[in-house]
A and B are shown apart, each in its own frame.
Chain A
Amino acid sequence: SAVISQKPSRDICQRGTSLTIQCQVDSQVTMMFWYRQQPGQSLTLIATANQGSEATYESGFVIDKFPISRPNLTFSTLTVSNMSPEDSSIYLCSVEANLNTEAFFGQGTRLTVV
C-alpha cells in the first residue's frame, strides 16, 4: 500500500491568484497522477507526473494553467494558476502500487475560488 499526504486540505482563494498543492508519498513511485473532481462529477485525469521529465497532460488541460513539478520519486506539486471560479473543485493526487493494481489517493484539496 501507499500512504499519501496531500495539502492543503482546503482553501478559499481570490480569482487571479495561484495555489500550489503538494503530495508526499511514503514510498518511491514511478508515476503520480493528478485528478480533478468537480461537484457531482467523476474524477478527471489532469496529468501524469514522471520524475525527471515533463508531465503528460490530458486533453483539455495545459501546462500553463496546471504546472506540475516532480522533483523526486516521493513528491509532486500541482499549481492551479490564474484561478477563476470555474476552477473550484476537489483536486486529488494518486499513485499506483504496481501496474494495473490498486490506486491510492491523497485526501484531496477542496478549492473554492471567489
Chain B
Amino acid sequence: RKEVEQDPGPFNVPEGATVAFNCTYSNSASQSFFWYRQDCRKEPKLLMSVYSSGNEDGRFTAQLNRASQYISLLIRDSKLSDSATYLCVVTLSGGYNKLIFGAGTRLAVHP
C-alpha cells in the first residue's frame, strides 16, 4: 500500500465548477499535512497547509480527518488557471521535514 494515495484523475471540469480532491495516508504518525500545486514541467509549490480544524484560503478549503487518515481539498468557482496537478503531502516525525508525496491529482479546467 502506498504511503499517500490520491485519485490520479484527470478531473475535467468547466469554469466555475466546484471540485474536490481526496487523499489518504497510511502512517498514523504523520505530523504535518499539505497540498502542493505542480504546473506542467515546473517544480511543486505550496498551495496550503492542512489543519485539523480545517482551513480556508479564498476559493480553496482544506480539511484533515486524523481518525480516518484522510485529507481533502475543495476548490470553488474553478478558474482556467487552476489547471495543474495537486499533490497531497505528509511529513513524518523524526526531527526533519521528510516529505511523503502522493502521485498527484490532475485538474483540467475548461472554458
Query: Could you list which residues of chain A lie within 8 angstroms of chain B, going by C-beta atoms?
Result: 31, 33, 40-45, 48, 92, 94, 96, 99-103, 105-108, 110
Contacts and interface: CB of A to CB of B under 8 A. Distances in A.
13 contacts: A31-B96, A31-B97, A33-B99, A45-B99, A99-B95, A100-B97, A101-B97, A102-B34, A103-B46, A103-B97, A106-B43, A108-B42, A108-B43
B12 interface: no
B96 A42 contact: no
A92 B43 contact: yes
Contacts of B44: 43, 92, 103, 105
Majority secondary structure of chain B interface residues (helix, strand, loop or mixed): loop
Nearest to B89: A103
A92 B44 CA distance: 10
Contacts, number: 49
Interface of B: 4, 31-32, 34, 41-46, 49, 87, 91, 95-99, 101-104
Given A92-B43, A100-B32, A108-B43, A48 B101 contact: no
Contacts of A33: 99
